[in-house]
Chains A and B, each alone.
Chain A
Amino acid sequence: MGSERLEPETRRRSLDQTLAFCALNWILPGSGYLAAGIRTRGWTLFALLNGCFLLGLAFNGTTEMPGLLPSSENWNIVAVLTFMVKVCHGGGTMLLLWLADSESLLGRLLVRDPGTAYSDLGSFHLLVSGGLNYFATVRLYDILTGADEDELARGKEQERTDSEEEKAP
């Protein structure tokens, strides 16, 4: 029966609260889970996703704003899609964009040279971190709106129907 148990801290929230936790999770991966009281999963995601982002920075990963309109000179569909996925790690990407032309100590520390050997690899780590945070945020929405319970209830109902059909002659 243990496999059917939900996390004890998980409970349905109002839509406003849910959206606030999702926004928090978008800005800093894992933080939305922690704020909602889902601690183990929150700390796990916090460490995994932010660790990947930091590793990307250690590899000199960069984020640059592409031309977003097809009419602009530097428009490129791959660059636009890549940027959209990177933006899913909201806080980190916005910080990098904000510091892009900064001469401050933080700017010099976080904004890397895109021409270095592992810069592409580092940028890919930032991309993966953003993409996974998209899934984590969408999942948090499902958990807080109770989709988990509905999903489990539907699964149990289906199992019961299947077993009844098997027993029937």
Chain B
Amino acid sequence: MTGPVYILSALYLTLLVSLVISVLEPEWRNKLWKNTLRRWGKFLGGLAILGVIVQILTLLA
């Protein structure tokens, strides 16, 4: 059960960070969800790339 909890937490925390940053923008009511989802996607994409790099380095070690 540990793995899914960590994955769900990663999804929740990245969404939270994206949402709070969008809420703190000057004109936050405009396109709030569009901006949040765009940021969330970039954030998850970055994390996925980091995960792949770590996995490759682990295999090479």
Contact = CB atoms under 8 A, between A and B. Distances in A.
Interface of A: 2-6, 40-41, 44-45, 48-49, 52, 55, 117-118, 121, 124-125, 128, 132, 135-136, 139, 148, 151-152
Task: Report which residue of B6, B9, B20 has the largest number of chain A beta carbons within 10 angstroms of its beta carbon.
Answer: B20
Contacts of A152: 26
B20 to A, nearest CB: 5
Contact of A48 (B9, B19, B28, B29): B19
Contacts, number: 44
Nearest to B21: A135
B interface bracket (residues with beta carbon within 8 Å of A): 10 to 19
Interface of B: 2, 5-6, 9, 12-13, 16-17, 19-21, 23-24, 26-30
The majority secondary structure among interface residues of chain A is helix
A117 B16 CA distance: 23
Contacts of A151: 26
Contacts of A4: 27
8 contacts: A3-B30, A4-B27, A52-B13, A121-B5, A128-B17, A132-B20, A135-B20, A148-B26
